[in-house]
Amino acid sequence: MAKSGKPSPKTRPQSAVGSQQQRAAAPTPAKDWLERPSLPATDPSLRKVFWGLAALGLVILVALSFGSGINADDKFQVDYSQKLVNYYGTFGKDTSALNIPDGNMHLYGGFFETVTGFANKGLGYQPSNIGYHNIRHASSAVLGWVAMLCAALFASLVGGQRAGIITLIIMLVSPRFVGDSLMNPKDIPFAAGYIMAIYNMVAVLDRMPNPSRWNLVGLAVGLGIALGIRAGGLLSFGILGMFVGLHFLLKNGGLKAFSNGQSLKKYALVTLGVAAIGYVFALLFWPYALQAPFKNPFVALSKFSDLEVKIRVLFEGVNMMSDKTPWNYALKWIVYTIPLAALVGFVGGIVLLPRMLRRLNPLWVILAFFAAIFPVFYVIYKNSVIHDGWRHLTFAYPPLVVCAALFWNELVNIFSEKKYGQWAVYGALGLLSADAAAFIAMNPKMPYVYFNPIVGGTAGAYGKFETDYWGISTRQGIEWLESQGILKPEMPEMVVIATNMYYSTKQLTAKYGDKVKVKYLKWEKRCDDAWDYGLYPTRFLDGSTLQKGMWPPDNAVHIVKAGDTPILAVLKDNGRNCALGIAATKLSDWPGAIERFKAEIANVPDNEVAWVNLAQAYLNNDQLEEAKAAAEKTIGICPDDAQANNLIGLYWLNKKDATKAKAQFELSIKKETSNPGAWYYLGLIARSQGDQQTALNNLMKAIQIAPNFKPAYELSAQIYESMGDAARAQQFRAALGQMK
């Protein structure tokens, strides 16, 4: 064991190592804040465990990647990849990659898409080939492994090789990170670049003034990969500047350091050199940034907050828009979905932080916590729009695990003189990792849907949080159809598949040619067209419906599950009565629609789409009581159904009970604020009660939600005419005329 004196630069270890014999005794305070006792020499057995575990992890990740489904975002990613290949393949003559309005992909770096795009081109794969996606998934898995390895190497540098081994273990039993590594072409490569830059920065500074060339290269490549994935990679450059500056000052006596010209020059050359190389590396894979190297990356960074897609998400059982989520949205997702070993370790690391700052290099301990905490804090501070759980913050997870591993390592050190105490620590680490490890083993094709025991596992989160938000379970649904002989090369007739995950379903059935037709139909619009089978995950379903156990519906012939939790339903349409009922509705054939919807309900009693459209048909056929009963049946299945709630309000309007109608429409808006019909009818009621201003206010809300909602314009014009404001009335009629 090293003594507590200040080590000389020549004898300071050149790589991070640890030992089971490492002791917990606090050292004598060193004069230099950065100087801490050298870590024990490398234990050969631990070194073998470390690299053996790392190699095993690589094999497992790549193997699992071949069974993963296709990420829904690949609709944009694959298109961008092909445009990038065309751009570089024509030496910039094909400029389609410079501006891609659909998804704004040109604002993202193209490192992953360029590399995998040319790999697929070289192998002759097209997006309709499963091999094309296998290349992408395997590449993502490799980068996920790189992130794990760099996190472990970082932990080894700070706390010794045992800390690195613990980091590897926790990373490999992290279902969310493992699951994303199998098919996430944005967040995983970005995380790999982020932690690669951090690890190599520490290694470079730890060896100043003679850093390893490999670490310099690793630092530049890490910076380049991070920025070469998304503009947020500029954060890595900021961290580099911040901690290089701190290291320079602390290493050279504070402000007196600036008088040390030789040291200042060395730090400046290293920092500016690797930053410049990393920046150029990123630009080489990013055509949009190449057009204005010192402007466009910052333009992309500034535009992301404005261009962030706002979608409907499920959070704590409530469906809401992603720009309306509470401040703790990401924080709760992290707490509920990381392994308990990581969560307990991170919290414990905060508790033991003073001890770790005394025993270890405090600058690197601070860096680990900063790299994990700052991104989450910044998202909360900026009230950023995020969705799909905390995937946008995936890059903060590897440093979080480093912090957790340092805690577990310190616990072992605390019990260094008590063998049973150490085994108790290892036992606790194992127990807190077991649930997550078991989930990966039992759900190898989609481990990313994991929730930890705090929220009751995936079963406890069902109906409260999104599960398969990328719809990768469609692959398992298709594989089931194949196993049943429903999909096969020699199919005698065409099979029509409806789904709200069109891209993945289309690619996975492309091998059947025109024997399979895929139709994009939202869940609530699944009766708008005819089909044979439907593939629907829980994405975008009402949380209340899921919690009430009203899904999967009665026409589900197969259910893809994670444990006992339904993830995707394979539906079979018998008779196509619901689609025929919708067709009759469009023709205003109310008796025909009623007949068809009743036939559908006889087959599928919990089809809320059939029930609500039956209610509409009854109302239009002047069968008020039947309409109310059908609407109430819809609400029994789907309490937040906007149309059903509005229909009950219309029932009371037809009954001349404005008070009950108003209360119902207000309830409807409470359940779904973006409900233009409810706002319109509240405007109608307010007008009938002589409150013209309230009526206009409600109508404006309807128009803001649905700019082409013609009845709101017509009623607004009538109100302004009755108020003698012909000019305003004309404005609304002119707007109405432009819509015709």
Residue range 258-306, pLDDT digits in tens: 777 788 889 899 999 999 999 999 999 999 999 999 999 999 988 775 5
Looking up residue 712, the CATH number of its domain turns out to be 1.25.40.10
Same domain for 415 and 486, yes or no, is no
Give residue 32's pLDDT: 58
Domain for residue 298, yes or no? yes
Residues 254 and 380 in one domain: yes
Do 489 and 352 have their domain in common? no
Residue 730 structural domain: 588-738
Could you tell me if 244 and 205 are in contact, meaning their C-beta atoms sit under 8 angstroms apart?
A: yes
pLDDT in tens, 426-479: 999 999 999 999 999 999 999 999 999 999 999 999 999 999 999 999 999 999
Q: Is residue 466 part of a domain?
A: no
Q: Summarize the confidence of residues 683-694 as an average pLDDT.
A: 93
Tell me whether residue 26 is in a domain.
Answer: no
* Percent of the chain's residues with pLDDT above 70: 94
- C-alpha 602/C-alpha 583 separation (Å) is 19
pTM of the full structure: 0.89
Last residue of a domain, one of 515, 538, 572: 572
* Confidence at residue 101, expressed as pLDDT on a 0 to 100 scale: 86
Domain end (from 538, 572, 606) = 572
Residue 581 belongs to some domain of the structure: no
Domains held by the chain: number = 3
> pLDDT digit string (tens) for 177-204?
999 999 999 999 999 999 999 999 999 9
Q: Output the pLDDT for position 34.
A: 67
> In the sheet that 533-537 helps form, which strands lie side by side, from edge to edge?
516-520, 495-499, 533-537, 565-572, 556-562
Residues 421 and 507 in one domain: no
The answer to whether the beta carbons of residues 719 and 703 sit under 8 Å apart is no
Q: Helix 692-705 to helix 710-722 angle, to the nearest 10 degrees?
A: 160
Residues 306 and 338 in one domain: yes
Give the separation between CA 734 and CA 711, rounded to whole angstroms.
Answer: 14
Mean of the per-residue pLDDT values of the chain: 91
Mean pLDDT along residues 393-402: 97
Are both 514 and 655 inside the same structural domain? Answer: no
* In a shared domain, residues 313 and 434: yes
Mean pLDDT over 684-701 rounds to: 94
Do 660 and 517 fall within a single domain?
no
- Same domain as 616, residue 557: no
Q: How far is CA 567 from the centre of its chain?
A: 17
DSSP 28: P
Q: Which amino acid is at 476?
A: Q
Both 649 and 539 in a single domain?
Answer: no
CA atoms of 278 and 274, how far apart (whole Å) = 6
163 within 8 A of 361, measured Cβ to Cβ: no
Q: Are residues 135 and 207 in the same domain?
A: yes
Q: What is the pLDDT of residues 52-84, one digit of tens each?
A: 999 999 999 999 999 999 999 999 999 999 999
In a domain, 688, yes or no: yes
- Chain Cα centroid distance, residue 390: 6
pLDDT bracket for residue 737 (50, 70, 90):
confident
Give the pLDDT confidence score for residue 382 in this predicted structure.
84
Q: Distance between alpha carbon 113 and the CA centroid of its chain, in Å? A: 18
